[in-house]
Structure formats: C-alpha cells, structure tokens
Amino acid sequence: GLCGGIHSSVSKRTRAELAKISPTAANPDSPEGPAIVVLGEKSKAQLQRSFKKNLALSFSQVGRDVPTFADAAAIADMIFKSNLKFDKVNIVYNKFLSALSFESDILEAFSEKAL
C-alpha cells in the first residue's frame, strides 16, 4: 500500500546506522551488535532477515489508533523491565515534512549512567 515506503525508509535507515555501529551485526550468524527494539510488524519483518539475533523486543498494533502518552509509557516500561543494558538509544523515526513527504531521522537518548 501507500504506507510501505514509510516502513521501508525506517528499516533502511536502521540497517545503515547498524552497519556504522557494528559491521558484524549484519551477519545473521553473529550474536554481536546492539539490541534492536521494533515497533510494528512490517519493520520487524524487514529487519528480521538481517538482524534476527539482535531483535530483543517487538511491539505490534502500535499506531493503529492515535498514539497516546500512555501507549509510549507502557512501551518504555516494558523496555526497562526487560533488563536490556544500554548507554545510548537511537530512535529511528520518520520526520514529517509535508502531507506527501517525510524523511527518516534519528533521535539520540542516553541512559542516566551515560549522562
């Protein structure tokens, strides 16, 4: 459908960033590399081909309705309860430009320890 490009854009950007961070992470036989948390089945399917061992958590049915703070808080809570260790988080998302265009961007967040 028309939304396929949205998912592909985020997945491509994620793969490109992972290749910069950990070149060996793209090897499906390598357990090395950063943990990946995915929102959405389409992005999960696209990233699972190359980074199956790195997919730590995935959430589906996100964004079907208008997202709320409670939705984001529930996802964040599940991530913290998962005991994933991290110093930095890169959030890959589509930045709205107009009704017809967007671009993938990255928002960096750091752990309290890293700050």
Q: What are phi and psi of 76, to 5 degrees?
A: -60, -40
Domain that residue 38 falls in: 4-110
Q: Rounded mean pLDDT of 92-109?
A: 89
pTM of the model: 0.78
Higher pLDDT, 3 or 83: 83
pLDDT above 70 covers what percent of the chain?
85
Please give the C-alpha separations between residue 79 and each of 72, 92, 100, in angstroms, as whole numbers.
11, 16, 32
The CATH number of the domain holding residue 49 is 3.40.1380.10
Determine the pLDDT at residue 28. 58
Mean pLDDT along residues 10-28: 79
Q: Is the pLDDT of residue 7 over 80?
A: no
Higher pLDDT: 89 or 7? It is: 89
Q: Quickly state the pLDDT bin for 107 (edges 50, 70, 90).
A: very high
Q: Is residue 27 part of a domain?
A: yes
Residue 66 — pLDDT band, cuts 50, 70, 90? confident
Query: What is the arithmetic mean of pLDDT over 103-115?
Result: 82
Is the residue at 115 inside a domain? no
How many domains is the chain built from? 1
For residue 75, being part of any structural domain is answered with yes
Structural Rg of the chain based on CA atoms: 14
